[in-house]
Structure 1
Amino acid sequence: MTTQVASASPNKAIVTQTAERELRIERIFNAPRERVWKAMTDPALVSQWWGRGNKVVVERMDVQRGGHWRFVEHTPEGTHGFEGRYREVKPMERIEQTFEWDGMPGHVTVETMTLEDLGDGRTKLVNISLFHTVEDLQGMVGSGMEQGLNESYAALDKLLARPN
Structure 2
Amino acid sequence: MSKSSQQTSRDAVVTQPSDREIRTERIFDAPRERVWRAMTDPKQVAQWWGRGNKLVVERLEVERGGHWRFVEHAEGDAHGFEGRFREVTPPERMVQTFEWDGMPGYVILITTTLEDVGNGRTKLVATSLFYTTEERDGMASSGMEGGLNESYRALDALLAREA
Q: TM-score of the superposition, structure 1-length normalised?
A: 0.93
The residue type equivalent to 1:44 in the other structure is K
Spell out the pairing of 1:84-99 with structure 2 (5 A cutoff): 84-99=83-98
Alignment partner, residue 139 of structure 1: 138
Q: CA deviation at 1:163?
A: 3.3
Distance 1:134 1:107 in 2: 12
Letter in 1 for 2:126: N
Unaligned runs of 5+ in 2: 1-7
Give the TM-score normalised by the residue count of structure 2: 0.94
Alignment of 1:64-79 (within 5 A): 64-79=63-78
SS for the counterpart of 2:59 is strand
Q: Point out where structure 1 has 5 or more consecutive residues left out of the alignment.
A: 1-8
Given residue 136 of structure 1, which amino acid in structure 2 is its aligned partner? E
CA offset at residue 59 of structure 1?
A: 0.1
Mapped pair 1:148 → 2:136: no
Q: 1:77 offset after TM fit, Å?
A: 4.4
Size of the alignment, in residue pairs? 156
Q: Look up the match of 2:161.
A: 162
Is the partner of 1:19 in helix, strand or coil?
Answer: coil
Q: Distance in 1 between matches of 2:75 and 2:104?
A: 22
Residue in structure 2 matched with residue 18 of structure 1 by the alignment: 17
RMSD between aligned alpha carbons? 0.8
More helix by share: 2
Secondary structure of the structure 2 residue equivalent to 1:34: helix
Paired amino acid for 2:135? D
